[in-house]
Amino acid sequence: MTQIPLTYYLILSAFLLCSGLLIVLIKKNAVFVLIGIELMLNAANLNLVAFSKFDPELNGQVFAIFSVVIAAAEAAIALAILLNIYKTYDTSDLDDLNTLKH
């Protein structure tokens, strides 16, 4: 089985990160922004896993599993906050959530 070179992983990861970043920057809906953040997180995870392939101690993979767990917890909290915001302000549009500005 031929090895897939690291560069491919990194390119995919960069693509994921850029897509996530674009989603975070462009989309107005908070849910999409969260999804963008997940994408960026997973891009990082992909990097960790890809680099750990060349690490005999597999520290990167362990770290990635941690990261996935924490991402799940974070997503749960973020969604909970989002739900509360939606309940309170009747909107999930980020441009309307500007009370801190004033």
Partner 1 sequence: MTTPAIYITLVLMFPLLGGVITYLSGSKNASRLSLMGMLPGAVIAGFLIYQSHDASLVVRWEWLPGYEFGWCIDRISAVLIGLVYLVSLLVHLFSAHYLSHDRAIHRYFGKLGFFTASMIGLLAADHFLLVFIFWELVGFSSYLLIGFWYEDVEKAVAARKAFMVNRVADAGLLIGVILMVTELNQPFLSSLVGGESSLLVHLAGFGLMIGALGKSAQFPFSGWLPKAMAGPTPVSALIHAATMVAAGVYLLIRVAPFLSPPVLNTTAAIGAVTAFMAAVSALTQHDIKKVLAYSTISQLGYMVMGIGAGAYQASLFHLWTHAFFKAGLFLAAGAVIHYLHTLKHTDSTFDAQDMRTMGGLKKVLPFTHVAFIICGLALSGLPLFSGFLSKEGILSGVWLWAIDHSANGYWWAYLVSDLAFVTALLTPIYIGRQILLVFHGTPRTALEKLPHMEPLGLVKVPLMVLSVGALWLVNALNPLDAGGWWLSSFLFGDSAGPGHGSIQVWTMMLSIALAVGGLAISYIFYRPGSMRSLGYQMAMVPAKWYRRLTFEGWYLESIYDGLSGNYIKVAKAARIFDRKVIDWLVNAAGVSTVVFSKALAVIDREVVDGLVNFVAWLFRGVGGVFTKIQSGKVQNQLIWMVLLLLVLVLWSQF
Site residues, partner 1 (CB under 8 A):
21, 24-26, 28, 33, 94-95, 97-98, 100-102
CB of 102 to partner 1, least distance (A): 8
Shortest Cβ distance from residue 95 to partner 1 (Å)? 6
Beta-carbon count within 10 A of 50 CB: 19
Q: CA gyration radius for the chain?
A: 17
Q: What residues contact residue 85 under an 8 Å CB cut-off, 6+ apart? A: 30, 92, 97
Tokens of 87: 């309940």
Which residue number, 6 or 18, has a Cβ lying nearer to partner 1? Answer: 18
* CB closer to partner 1 out of 75 and 97: 97
